[in-house]
Structure 1
């Protein structure tokens, strides 16, 4: 819902207050949180450049901290992978609530779907490694999926109420369509975006 629509209807902007917390919560102490953020940022960049098998020593070097600091915060590679994954999921959800507040319903849904496709294409190796370590039915993935689902359903339901999309749409169908092509091993971002254009066009309500 755009700011104008919010003002006109008196509706409150969406918040994440009622959602269960994502796993791997950040520390609250300022210095610990600073090191946490430095390490997660360094890991995300290193994984994007060199893959998830980047050495922990290299990640600590990029973050400007000692390897002991890394291990105190993340006692295993899997723990660091979890933190990077959660950070990305948090961004996916935050973008949904931001789009809901600032854009018209259909544009908000389409913008979020585009950001979600970009996330899926770029984080395939990270997702695969975590699924291997934790299992796809783990509580970790259940919590992440619940947060993504609630964020996406907010946008989809708002677009339905606005009459902008088909009334029979379900978020599960939309996410499966996206997942069907973004998880292909050799898909290029350009092709993924073209396929998403087709999916988005099919969401619109027809008379």
Structure 2
């Protein structure tokens, strides 16, 4: 799927069905709890929401960092999959759809991102994945004349990131600003 293997930053999923169910329940509960309460949510709360004991949580995710890294990598993989999913669209539509999806993921992973070490290997690998998967979408748009030639890949990803993380009066305002940004990128 991606050029960079992010699996090295994921906790191994248990093979037994009951262990796999618990693992998945912990991930779902952690995503929800972090979205609602922040990345410093008590792991006991995550275990309770998942319907498992704290020992089961620690057996699967020995530290908070392992759990956070796993969730963060999942979000980055989703961004990469979105870049692949739009590949069959017209280049302008692909760029628009990908940037909208990218902004949505960025907004959803803000709490996770605040807990990731920006100087660490997980963050570095994830940035490389975003660059590797967004590059072809942006290059196709540029080659098709749908993107101004002076706009760099970094301009697009940083612009979308900035819009997705800025304070706004709600999703509608953020969407309007993103659409204005996209129009400004057009050739």
Q: What's the TM-score once normalised by structure 1's chain length? A: 0.79
Mind listing any 5+ residue stretches in structure 1 that lack a counterpart? 1-14
Superposed, 1:28-107 pairs within 5 Å as 29-31=14-16, 32-101=19-88, 103-107=89-93
Secondary structure at the residue paired with 2:148? coil
State the match for 2:10 in structure 1. 25
User: How many correspondences in the alignment?
Assistant: 184
Matches within 5 A, 1:164-175: 164-175=146-157
Q: C-alpha distance in 1, partners of 2:168/2:148?
A: 31
Deviations along 1:123-155, one digit per CA (max 9) or x if unpaired, are 22321122xxx2x12111110000011111010
Instruction: Give every structure 1 segment of 4 or more consecutive aligned residues whose post-TM-superposition deviation is greater than 6 Å.
Output: none
Matches within 5 A, 1:181-196: 181-185=163-167, 188-196=170-178
Within 2, Cα distance between the matches of 1:58 and 1:177? 35
CA deviation after TM superposition for structure 1 residue 187, in Å: 5.8
* Contact 1:26/1:36, CA 8 A, preserved across alignment: no
CA distance in 1, matches of 2:168, 2:55: 38
RMSD: 2.0
User: Residue 121 of structure 1 contacts residue 189 of structure 1 at CA under 8 Å; is this kept in 2?
Assistant: no
SS in structure 1 of the partner of residue 151 of structure 2 = coil
Q: Distance in 1 between matches of 2:24 and 2:43?
A: 15
Paired residue for 1:114? 100
Q: Secondary structure at the match of 1:169?
A: coil
Tell me the secondary structure at the aligned position of residue 129 of structure 1: coil
Contact kept, 8 Å, 2:39 with 2:114, in 1: the verdict is no
TM-score, normalised relative to structure 2: 0.87
In 1, distance between residues paired with 2:184 and 2:119? 30
Structure 2: any 5+ residue segments left out of the alignment? none
The whole-number CA distance in structure 2 between the counterparts of 1:147 and 1:187 is 31
